[in-house]
Structure 1
Amino acid sequence: MSRVYSTDQGRICPGCDQAIDQCRCSSDRAAPAGDGIVRIQRETKGRKGKGVTLVTGIPLAEKELKVLAKTLRQKLSTGGSVKDHVLEFQGDQRVALKPLLEKEGFTVKLAGG
């Protein structure tokens, strides 16, 4: 049985038994396999009518994905996060995101309506 929480370290990673902020195994997680196309879509479902822009299919490791997300958030001047290899940006940012991602060298498609 592995530890989940320690009073001196906080939450513990079950894979490497280190504190979450010092975890070695989560930073090495590779991107899920995809078809090589980055898809941008808008979603409001489950968000009380507030729209967010989702970017899926980026073939980067978790650390690189977080760096890319930070750069894009700064260029868009908006908030956002990374959840399960999906970039989330506040508001409808589809039109602004497409050229930024194409400039990074990705093949981009606008998905959804």
Structure 2
Amino acid sequence: MMSDTNSRLVYSTASGFVPEPTAKAASASPFPDDGIVRLRRENKGRKGAGVITIHGIPSERQKELASLLKKKCGTGGAIKEGIIEIQGEKRDLIQAELIKAGFTVKLAGG
């Protein structure tokens, strides 16, 4: 029998139907949960308008920090699926504010 990575056993004559393996819950963030806050510049799917996405902020502090960063940058933003988005190219200012707030910050992506 040839092994195919794209197939799976559904029924066996020995034991009947084989239950599907449980899949791990997919995280919204592409980064590991290691306590480091990552800033990433993105414009894909936003009609060319750049935003800074902030990954790794604990959920209990996201609303507070998003509000603070929007005020400091003078721009809009949102929290989507545990990721803070701040409009515009303000990575240096955001990095300085997060360091002031006590986070370890790493610039990721472009």
TM-score normalised per structure 1: 0.66
**Where do 5+ consecutive residues of structure 1 fail to align?**
1-31
Q: Which residue of 1 aligns with 2:68?
A: 71
Q: Higher relative CO (CA 8 A, sep ≥ 6), structure 1 or 2?
A: 2
Tell me if structure 2 keeps the 8 A contact 1:41–1:53: yes
Q: Which residue of 1 aligns with 2:51?
A: 52
Once residues 65 and 52 of structure 1 are traced to their aligned partners in structure 2, the CA distance between those partners, rounded to angstroms, is: 17
Deviations 1:22-53 (A, max 9, x none): xxxxxxxxxx9810000001101011111111
**Where do 5+ consecutive residues of structure 2 fail to align?**
1-28
Deviations 1:56-91 (A, max 9, x none): 011232xx3112111111111111011111010111
Pairs aligned (count): 80
1:105 paired to 2:102: yes
TM-score normalised per structure 2: 0.68
Tell me if structure 2 keeps the 8 A contact 1:34–1:59: no
Kindly indicate which of the two structures has a greater share of residues assigned to helix. Answer: 1
